A = this chain, B = another copy of it.
Amino acid sequence: MHGLHLTADLMGCRCDPLWLTDADRLAERCEAAVMQAGLSAVAKLAHTFPASDSGPGGVTATVLLAESHLCVHTWPEIGAATLDVYVCNYGADHSVRAEALMASLLALFDAAQVERRAIERGAIGLAAASP
C-alpha cells in the first residue's frame, strides 16, 4: 500500500474551455493520459454540475487505476482545477509514471498558477513490513 500521491491546484487555466466543462471528453482525455503514462485504467466516471448565472457548471472526472486513482475537479467560472494522481507502489514503483501523468495533465490545463504537493502514502505499511 506504500505509494505516492501527487496533487496540483491550478488557477488561470488557459486551455480550451471544453476541458473545464465537458466531463465526458475530459474523462476520455484522462484515460488516454493514463495509458500514455504506462498506468492501467480499470474504470472511469464523469459528472457535470449544473450551469449557473456564472456560466457552465464545473465537472469531475475520475479514472480508477490498477495502481489507485486519478481525479480532476474543475471550476470554469474562475478558471480553476484540482488534480490528484495517486499510485500505490504495491508490486512495483509507479512513481515515475505518476509524475509523467501529472505532467501530461498540467500541460493540458496550461495554468498560470500551480500549487503542487507530493505526499508519501502508506509509510506505516513499510514500517510494518520491515524486519
Contact = CB atoms under 8 A, between A and B. Distances in A.
Contacts of A11: 1, 124-125, 128
A117 to B, nearest CB: 7
Interface stretch (A29-37, A84-92, A100-108): A84-92
Interface residues of A, number: 41
A73 B78 contact: no
A119 interface: yes
Contacts of A119: 7, 117, 119
Given A1-B80, A124-B11, A125-B9, A66 B45 contact: no
A9 B122 contact: yes
A21 interface: no
